[in-house]
């Protein structure tokens, strides 16, 4: 089928007037010989957004290579078919649907609820925009067969996505293989049929009762009830234009923490994300307004969620940093929270384990060893971390933390915020700060330093070319430090499922891991060193960063 024919067929079934107008204009321009319009149509219809273990994620717009009501309807109908196929005889699967504050999230969620109900499933729609962790909680709390969260998390403003969870034996975790391929096959069959207008729909879906959100709030408040040191504790919070604050504020009240000074310009959900280029606390400039609020209010620390509140950032005063504030790395926060979990688990949970993704700091293994706990390194993503046996805590360096696995089997920036508040308040009782906790960690476990080289591209094929070049001619040194060995996870290493990951070990014990991002058009290189002191670790990391950038630039050509 030609691109124009595919575009016309898509237009005929599109129920959305916005994307219909968008596509109609492109078709007309292409028919009139406009090369830019033809190229745009080619990009929109040359392929489909692939459904995988991360679900769907992409730019909003008309076409099979965009997020829109046609694509989401195909996904919902296909997923419904998969769930019906998996259900025991006579069983009616329950699916719970949540959504955040991004553009069209509510529309995609209602479309999904109607299609699930039309397919004969019990569909339960969350009552309003809520954090992703509430949806993950709801899957377990309701005993649902599955859950869908409409979100693109911290992606750029024009993106949206469709994240899938499974209940039952999966305990509300994100999907993994082979479920992803089986669901994708069902979706493809719906797409091949060619008209979403004939799919059965029903408005007989349920809207979840407020008691569901109350249950999440009560469970999360127990993560760390406020100690005495929380009294009068001044801090700043930003929701990054997302949905985190309403839920967090209610938890703070139940747990006994003082409310923060909020970043007013970022506290309400706004899918345009007007004050940030990328709504991700890791991105340069994203925390600037929070730093301003902290300086003005005399705050002791800052907590930030990303837009769907499944990630957490922490910042502390630092005289050596520009503006006097420094955001902790995800590894620093993860090691502190892992240390907290280990102290509790060692006494109460024999056989407990700590887990992190293979690109996260090896410092967590040192914590586990010191406390007699098991340790597991997994592929990136909480779909893997959450499945570690005996898990009491898991994290990945991209600001994701799983602190309450009995409640949520996914990263949860809200419960992580409560855990961090408890840790900070307890230290505060002793006259200590977050910086003091970091120094104590180094004294007990060693000086670990981590960094990241992130290359964002417009053309994702560049990432493939870089990975191919690194495999064809792997580096033998990083600066003055020789490479000891290389693990190529495409071939399967240490029991990991095959993945597009290169892990390079250097003779001084440093480590470099290179992989494509699973959610954004980026190539990422993760750097880890261990030094004799903090300054030694920082110097080693700086040298490794410079060498890594040189090697990637050469591979890019």
Q: 3-class DSSP state for residue 284?
A: coil
The answer to whether the beta carbons of residues 157 and 177 sit under 8 Å apart is no
The answer to whether the beta carbons of residues 313 and 287 sit under 8 Å apart is yes
Helix ranges (DSSP H) in 14-104: 17-31, 35-45, 69-86
**Phi-psi map region of 83: left, alpha, beta (phi>0 left; psi -120 to 50 alpha):** alpha
In degrees and rounded to multiples of 5, residue 556 shows phi and psi of: -70, -30
Query: Taking the mean position of all CA atoms in its chain, how far away is CA 404?
Result: 16
- Distance (Å, whole) CA 435 – CA 348: 28
CA 87-179-244 angle, to 5 degrees, is 95
Which of these is catalytic: 73, 105, 112, 153?
Answer: 153
**Phi-psi map region of 131: left, alpha, beta (phi>0 left; psi -120 to 50 alpha):** beta
Query: Taking the mean position of all CA atoms in its chain, how far away is CA 164?
Result: 13
- Distance (Å, whole) CA 184 – CA 179: 8
Helix ranges (DSSP H) in 446-533: 461-472
Active site residue 73: no
Quick one: tokens of 224?
């760390």
The pairing of strands 146-150 and 159-166 is antiparallel
- Distance (Å, whole) CA 345 – CA 342: 5
Burial class, 486, CB count within 10 angstroms (exposed 0-12 / middle 13-18 / buried 19+): middle
Neighbours of 423 (CB within 10 A): 19
Quick one: tokens of 501?
């990951």
HEC assignment per residue over 114-159? HHHHHCCCEEEECCCCCCHHHHHHHHHHCCCCEEEEECCCCCCCCE
Asked whether the CA dihedral 89, 169, 412, 251 is positive or negative, the reply is positive
Helix ranges (DSSP H) in 224-313: 244-255, 288-297
CA 381-386-388 angle, to 5 degrees, is 110
* Active site (catalytic) residues: 153
């Amino acid at each position: 089928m030609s691109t124009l024919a595919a575009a016309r067929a898509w237009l005929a079934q599109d129920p959305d007037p916005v994307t219909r107008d968008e596509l109609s204009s492109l078709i007309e321009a292409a028919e009139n010989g406009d090369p830019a319009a033809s190229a745009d149509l080619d990009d929109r219809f040359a392929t489909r957004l692939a459904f995988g273990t991360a679900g769907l994620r992409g730019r909003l717009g008309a076409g099979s290579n965009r997020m829109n009501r046609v694509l989401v309807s195909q996904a919902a109908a296909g997923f419904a078919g998969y769930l019906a196929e998996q259900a025991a005889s006579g069983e009616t699967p329950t699916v719970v649907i949540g959504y955040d504050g991004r553009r069209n999230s509510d529309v995609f969620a209602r479309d999904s609820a109607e299609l699930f109900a039309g397919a004969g499933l019990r569909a339960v729609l969350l009552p309003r925009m809520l954090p992703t962790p509430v949806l993950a909680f709801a899957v377990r709390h309701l005993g649902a067969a599955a859950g869908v969260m409409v979100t693109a998390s911290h992606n750029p403003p024009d993106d949206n996505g469709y994240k899938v969870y499974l209940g039952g034996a999966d305990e509300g975790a994100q999907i993994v293989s082979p479920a992803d391929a089986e669901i994708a096959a069902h979706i493809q069959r719906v797409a091949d049929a060619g008209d979403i207008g004939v799919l059965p729909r029903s408005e007989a879906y349920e809207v979840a009762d407020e008691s569901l959100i109350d249950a999440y709030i009560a469970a999360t408040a127990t993560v760390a009830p406020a100690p005495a040191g929380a009294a009068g504790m001044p801090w700043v919070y930003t929701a990054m234009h997302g949905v985190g604050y309403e839920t967090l504020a209610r938890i703070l009240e139940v747990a006994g923490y003082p409310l923060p000074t909020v970043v007013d310009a970022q506290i309400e959900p706004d899918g345009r994300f007007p004050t940030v280029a990328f709504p991700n606390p890791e991105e340069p400039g994203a925390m600037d307004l929070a730093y301003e609020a902290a300086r003005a209010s005399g705050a002791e620390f800052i907590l930030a969620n990303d837009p769907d509140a499944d990630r957490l950032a922490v910042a502390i005063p630092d005289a050596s940093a520009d503006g006097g504030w420094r955001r902790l790395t995800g590894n620093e926060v993860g090691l502190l929270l892992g240390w907290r979990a280990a102290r509790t688990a060692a006494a109460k949970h024999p056989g407990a384990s700590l887990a992190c993704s293979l690109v996260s700091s090896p410092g967590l293994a040192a914590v586990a060893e010191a406390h007699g706990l098991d340790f597991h390194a997994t592929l990136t993503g909480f779909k893997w971390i959450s499945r570690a046996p005996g898990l009491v805590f898991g994290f990945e360096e991209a600001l994701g933390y799983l602190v309450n696995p009995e409640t949520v089997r996914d990263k949860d920036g809200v419960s992580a915020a409560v855990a961090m508040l408890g840790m900070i308040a307890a230290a505060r009782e002793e006259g200590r700060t977050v910086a003091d906790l970091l120094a104590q960690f180094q004294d007990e476990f060693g000086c670990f330093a981590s960094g990241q080289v992130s290359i964002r591209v417009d053309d994702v094929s560049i990432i493939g070319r870089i990975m191919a070049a690194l495999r064809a001619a792997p580096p033998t040194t990083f600066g003055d430090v020789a490479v000891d060995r290389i693990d190529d996870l495409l071939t399967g290493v240490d029991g990991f499922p095959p993945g597009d990951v290169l892990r390079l070990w250097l003779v001084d014990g440093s480590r470099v891991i290179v992989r494509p991002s699973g959610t954004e058009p980026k190539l990422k290189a993760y750097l880890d060193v261990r030094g004799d002191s903090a300054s030694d670790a920082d110097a080693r990391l700086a040298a490794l960063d410079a060498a890594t950038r040189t090697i990637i630039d050469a591979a890019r050509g």
